[in-house]
Chains A and B, each alone.
Chain A
């Protein structure tokens, strides 16, 4: 493989890394609170509000059931408003984050639902406020599951980011399509696949490691 090809691969890897990292952080920033809200406004929970909960649930479901490739195209106007363009890595981050937020929210929701109701009750009996219950009981107690859920989200984002390459988002996916597919460069195709697999492995192993470290049960 030529020096130029190698440069392209390194560049692609950098772009993928950038897209995945930024969209992971954005999805955590919005997805985790959204997951918390989905739990606490649910039936019998500390801030029950069923109308709100069901409306939010429906929006989350709608976003989740839209295939990524369609979502990406459908929100182009919104992407333009946010980043000023609909092409490039920065533009790809918008649909990536929007796809990942509801996914992570659901994962966080199910992780927090696992927290024993007895713990909430104990905290209430000590005079804890709603905020304290969320920050000091619900999130710390479900942290290992949240970390695993976040890991899952990052891995999905690696896959989606390759798809984003198809509409000019850059990154390894873009490389694979332009060289591997359109110019029949099997070596480039193979290299991108190997790099993507390695990324997924590293993310999964680190996620498992941190979740295990956090689990005191």
Chain B
């Protein structure tokens, strides 16, 4: 297995015990997506692509990839799609509420492998959360990359999240953003159709590029096929896998994907690492 960035380790002693974090702000991004900003009780560092477990006391815990900049160590944001029991409760959070966080866990993006290259990012739905943290990281080190292209898709214009951030990104040299929606409305001026269509018009120097894909399984599957068609070798296609998780520690077994514990060995994998494992698109 490839050596990615060294894994950051939980600072606290008991691996199961969350540290406290106070909700600082909530931003409604779309009818189903919300960003929660929080201030952890102690300095909190993570690398882009690593994830945390968020505890709503007495309710439950769920894994999220921070969507804020990994360069910030005193505050943290997660962007959460309402999907069930725990995320419902997360959507009810308000400023001042105290929640718990554990982590960071797992293996994030191998930034050092991307230095000097062009980065093509394909994202869909709530997959934008980890991508935003990656983009913050790339923005801070932009002299180290040739070019960054973001192709992002959502169902409707209403579900296009991070609107101010997209504006900001479009103003930075080396960064390009293309968006598409499945169902446009009268205000929509960008592409219409599945997100992979955005790749058709890109001019990519594939031998000097890497691909990053984050989104719902079906999108990751077709995104991967498309990147392969474009000539990306499997080892240059990075996927962020989503599996059921409980511990985040490589112990509870819920996230097993063949021989891997996605929480510990991933969640970021290059496609060549996982292509032979079962059920990767489920």
User: Are A and B part of the same complex?
Assistant: no
Chain B contacts to A: CB under 8 angstroms: none
- List residues of chain A with CB under 8 Å of any chain B CB: none
